[in-house]
Each structure stands twice: as structure tokens, then as C-alpha cells.
Amino acid sequence: MSLPIICLVLFAALLHASWNAMLRGGTDRLWSMTIMCMAIALASVIVAALLAPPARASWFCVGLSAILHVGYNLFLVRSYKSGDLGQTYPIARGVSPILIVLAASLFAGERMAPNGLMGIALVSTGIISLAYTGRRRTLPDLPYALGTGCFIAAYSVVDGIGVRLSGAPMAYTAWMCLLWGVMMPLVYIGLRDAKSLFALRPGIAVASAGGLVSLLAYGVVIYAMAQAPMGAVSALRETSVMFAALIGYAFLGEALTLRKLLACAVIALGALVIR
């Protein structure tokens, strides 16, 4: 993997941790996530209008990925109900690189070199250890955090395949995010109502900005997956948990212990091994 791609993915990781911290710090996370998706849809329709559509062969992936992203949104919101950013986020992100390597091998024929596999294992180990508290877990949202990781792996592999079929990473990203951004408000209305969605509330600007940050972050990741193995890109993207641990400490009042710092060091080592 080239150094420019690595730098881009690490930048995406920082952006990803930032919008997750914003979501975790909100009071009505389903509403915040839906507003984010509406901002994503608005930005995506502008980008899509300026670009030629992706190749027809990728449209199945566009639709499937949009559905998987909605599932990811719902599981992520639920997992943050009682879990700290520094616990729930590492679990969700930690399980996905290994799943992506397996799925990419099965469905896309990707093969990782031994050092790449070792790096991914180090990253995942460090990530999951960030969620370990030194006592038996009592987090009631653990199944949702694990489910979130499964959704991450699923949409990442679908997008990795789709973007290669599309021949146009930016157009693929725009159309997938547009469809995803339209579906999420419909799900919200089905679960609640339209009135609460469109009511002006404090935090709407922050949520909208979070959506744009999320769009940029995932657009970078999709571009990287068109240039490099999906498993390696995913593992580097999940270094975002290091940024999340620092953000949780600085802005959400979460603890930053020596164990967490050591786990971050393992993640960094894994990233170096992948390189």
C-alpha cells in the first residue's frame, strides 16, 4: 500500500472518530443520525449531478450497500444507548477487519501477504482490547456493537467490489450515499413520525456538519479500496479508535488509562506492519 493512500485513510479515520464522538455525545441519536443522512443525501445529489453515473454492473452493489448502511445506522445508534464511545466503538470497529479479510478472500479473491495478515491481527487485537475494562462485561448493548461490526464488514466488502465494477469511485460513492441518505429518513418516519424529524431543534447544524464529515471520510475509504486490498484499508481505517479514545477523554469525560495507551501502541504497530 502506497504512502499517499495510507495518509488518506488515516485522515479518514480521524474524521470518522470525530463524527462518532458527535453522535455519542448527542441526546437523540436516531434523530441526529437521520439529519446526518439527509445532509449526506443533499451533498451527494449535487456531486452525482456533476458526474457520469457509475457502470451498470455496479448498481446492484449501490442498492445493497445503501440497505446495509441503514442497518449499520440503526445498530450503531442502539449500541450507543448505554455504551461509552471508548467501549462500544472499539468493539464495533475491531471485529470488522478480520471479517472483511475473510469475506474479501471468499467473494473478491483477495489474498493478503503474511505481514499484512499479522498487521490486521495486531490492529484488531489492539482495538478490541480498548473495550476491555478488566472485569466481566455487563454492557447490555454488546450484541448491537458486534452487529454493527458485522454491518461494517458487509458494506465494506460490497463497496470494495462495487467501486471496482463502477470504474468511477466518486460517482459510485455519490449514488450509494444518495440512496442511503434518502432511505434513512423514511425509516425514521416509520419508527417515529415526520413532525419530529423536520422540527427545528438545537444541534441540527452540528448533525448536518457531521453528515458531511462522514461523507468525506467514507468517500476517501472507497477511493482507497479501489487502489488497495480491502482488509488492509479497513484495518488502517479502524485506527480511528485511537482518535476516538482521545476524543472521548478530552470531550466526553471518559477515562484514558495506561492500558488504553498500550492498546493504541499495538494498533499503531499493526498499521506499521501493514505498511
Q: What is the pLDDT of residues 24-62, one digit of tens each?
A: 666 788 998 899 999 999 999 999 999 999 999 999 999
CA pair distance 244, 152, nearest whole angstrom? 17
The pair phi, psi for residue 228, each rounded to 5°, is -145, 165
pLDDT at 170: 92
Residue of higher predicted confidence among 21 and 13: 13
Q: Measured between alpha carbons, how far is residue 165 from residues 69, 106, 108, 188 in Å?
A: 19, 17, 11, 31
The residue among 236, 71, 23, 69 whose CA lies nearest residue 162 is 69
Residues constituting the chain: 275
The residue among 183, 207, 213 whose CA lies nearest residue 23 is 207
Residue of higher predicted confidence among 264 and 48: 48
CB proximity list for 161: less than 8 A, separation 6 or greater? 61, 107, 108
CA pair distance 260, 4, nearest whole angstrom? 28
Cell of 48: 452525482
The residue among 153, 152, 62, 161 whose CA lies nearest residue 101 is 153
CA pair distance 84, 243, nearest whole angstrom? 14
Residue of higher predicted confidence among 26 and 247: 247
Query: Rounded mean pLDDT of 91-110?
Result: 76
Please check the confidence at residue 68 and state whether its pLDDT lies above 90.
yes
CB-hemisphere CA count at 13 Å for 42?
A: 11
Question: pLDDT tens across 105-148, in order?
Answer: 777 777 777 877 787 788 778 777 766 655 554 455 678 878 88
